[in-house]
Amino acid sequence: MQQIIQLIHDNDWGEIRINEPLAAHTTWKIGGPADLLILPSGEEAMIGIVALLHKHGVSWTALGRGSNMLVSDHGIRGVVLKPGTGLDYARFEDHLVHAGAAHSFIKLSVLAGKAGLTGLEFAGGIPGTVGGAVYMNAGAHGSDVSRILHYADIVLGTGELVRYDKEQMKFAYRHSILQEQGGVVVRAGFALEAGDRKEIAAAMASYKDRRMRTQPLKMASAGSVFRNPPGDHAARIIEEAGLKGMTCGGAQISEQHANFIVNIGQATAEDVLTLIGQTQRIIKERYGIELVPEVLVVGER
C-alpha cells in the first residue's frame, strides 16, 4: 500500500487519508475507518488511480456524499475513492448540462432552475452527488435520473474511461448497470428543456415545503431505507404496523417519516441493520410483503 501512496503523491493525483473514519463522510454519521481514503483531484487522476489499483490488485469502493450508504462499523478494507474538488463543476451548453461527479445534485437542480431549464426539479431534495445519483438512478416526485440522463462518463475497474448513454446504463428502480459491473462516474450530462423560471421555482418550493413537513431533515439519516413495493409506499405500510419510534441502540424509525431510520445518538451500523431486519420480519409476518432495502451496505462485517 505504501508504494501506491507514494505513486499517487508523486503524480499529484489527490489527497490521501490513512485510516480515515467514514462516519464523517456519510449522512448517517456511521461507519468505521477506510484503510485508505483518496480524493482524486480530477478525471485524469481518477483514471490513473483506478488503473494503479487494478495493476496492484487492490480493491476499491466509490463514495460520494454517503447519503444512501451504510458503512460497516469495522470500516472498509482497501481503498475508498471519493471524487474531490476537481470533479465539482457544472457547465451549461444550451439545454445540456455537464456536471462532475462530486457536484451536489441539489445545487445542480437550483442552477438549472435559475437558467430556465426544467427536468431537474425532482432533485431539489436528494442530498447526494451527481455521481451517486447516476449510480443509484436517484428519483423523487415521479421522476428520476433515467428520464433526463444523456450520457455518463465512467471509469471501469481496469481504469478504462467509457461513455454510456441512457440505454447502456440499464436503469431500473434505484438501479443501474454500475451496481452489477462496478465502475465510478466521473461526469454526467443531463438533457433538459426550456421552462418558465417562475413555474420551476414554484414547483421546487412546493417540493421543499412538503419535505420540511414530512421528513426528519434535521436528523442524521440516509433518506428512504426501503424501496416502495409495487403500487404502495413503504412508509405507509411501516406506519400502519405501528413501528414509528421503534429503536435499537442509537437508531430509530423516525416518528416523522416511517421509511427513515435516524441516528438519535451514537448509532452503529449494527443498530441500523438490526432495525432493518426487525422491520422486514414484522412486515412480512403481518402483511406478507417483502421490504427490500434501497440503501447500500458496504464494508467488513
Catalytic residue among 146, 176, 224, 254: 224
> How many Cβ atoms sit within 10 Å of the Cβ of residue 277?
12
Task: For residue 67, indicate whether it is catalytic.
Answer: no
Determine the Cα angle at 133 with ends 169 and 8, to 5°: 90
Q: Which three cell numbers stand for residue 76?
A: 472498509
DSSP β-bridge partners for residue 297: 70
294 part of the active site: yes
Catalytic: which of 20, 43, 121, 294? 294
**DSSP class per residue in 217-245:** TTSB--SB-BPPPTTS-HHHHHHHTT-TT
Which residue in 188, 148, 292, 297 sits closest to 234, CA to CA? 292
The C-alpha atoms of residue 278 and residue 257 are separated, in whole angstroms, by: 17
Q: How many CA atoms lie within 13 A of 247 on its CB side?
A: 10
Question: Active-site residue 174, yes or no?
Answer: yes
Per annotation, catalytic residue among 174, 176, 187, 254: 174
User: Which residues are known catalytic residues?
Assistant: 174, 224, 294
